[in-house]
A and B are shown apart, each in its own frame.
Chain A
Amino acid sequence: MQQNQDLNVYSNHRILPNVSDKEHCSLYSILYNNGTYPLWLVNKFVNEDSQSAQYKFTVSSFINNNKFMKQNIKQNINSASLDIEYIDLTLGLQATSLSKLIDTKYNHISSKEGRVLILEQPELLISSMEGLTSISLYNDFINKLHNEKFQHIIIISNIDYYNHYINSFIQYQYTTFFQSLQYKSDVVFTVKSLKTGYAKDISGTLSITKGGALDNVKHTNDVKVVENEYFFYVVKDNVVKLFY
């Protein structure tokens, strides 16, 4: 059997960004393709960080409803009690204005300290709102949430939308969304299935890379992102092995 590796993101063996520094905001992005749904990774974030009890998690998804998210993102039985809130955004795809969406869904959040937002597929808004550009999606939605409501944001996106051959307005918006996402994030997680298809003991690969926004000055004590590539194997629901 392969040796099981721990997930490390920073060189100080932490997974989530530092919460004690109130000035410090960060953005994680998880990119995946069809067939590798990475909620197990979010579960690792939530459960395996040594100080995860200090964070307040908010789970929002445009594609899966609350029932599903509650079933899949939850704390392990043995870990300290976590603060997880679920906000259903599936009907947000019927909304017509971004500011309204924030007002109705996130109105109750007043302080952003220690709050982590797990946001799934915000890029779908590009399709659902007529004429929305990726720039205004960032400015009016993601950045706004980041500035006012949440200290850290984890964006989960399906990169099947990413396309080099741009032939429509919407495709252009999607592509720029993914490009700028990689520049704006501190850490980029890429989850891929095996190109060769099904294998008995490997589900896919996870690579961790530094994103464009990571500023070493922000991190005291020379904390760096440990760039790495793992194989992962999903043993059972939410039981995932990482190895080299």
Chain B
Amino acid sequence: MESKKYLEDISEIKDMMRKSSRFISLSGLSGVLAGIYALIGAWLAHRKLQEIIAVDYTDVFGSSSVKIETDYIYNLFLIAMGVILLAIATGILLSARKAKKVGDKMWDDSSKRLVINFFIPLFAGGVFSIALLQQDMYGLVAPATLIFYGLACLNASKYTLGDVRYLGISNIIIGLISTQFIGYGLYFWALGFGIFHIFYGALMYFKYDRV
């Protein structure tokens, strides 16, 4: 009789500590969808690249190759932006739905903290990547985006479900590996933003979403 009350107290303490410090309504399913968008984006970028290589071959005098290159970068940028916006929108929508289902508030101190701490490294990475483009170091853009995204996840993981930490570490590792394989950035992107999101998203979906 007494010990039942103590057990209740302990679980109440744990529940309150977790609830008040972490945003736990993060949707795993939205991670899976973000991964799928990234794979579609990578496939579109790959196709664009093939097109450009084909054009480049026919262009014997090679005068327009610089223009083609900036054209390609611009297209890639648009695809990447599309993928990011779609992924963020899906994440917000599905997390809001999950929060509503368990009777939690979507926009409170813990989700605010999560967003701020996620976006600080991400913003730094975005600015840094633009600087790389300015300096014509295109080859380092893929590694830089993966590493900074990984750091953003690692930082955010303290304020949400702990699994996000491993998504972050995985992305940091392949970001570093990709520095040794310049020119294959698209494949590393597909792995980091596509496959890893699907894997960890599914893991989180089965662990937390289906309650």
- Same complex for A and B? Answer no
Residues of B whose CB lies within 8 Å of any CB of A are none
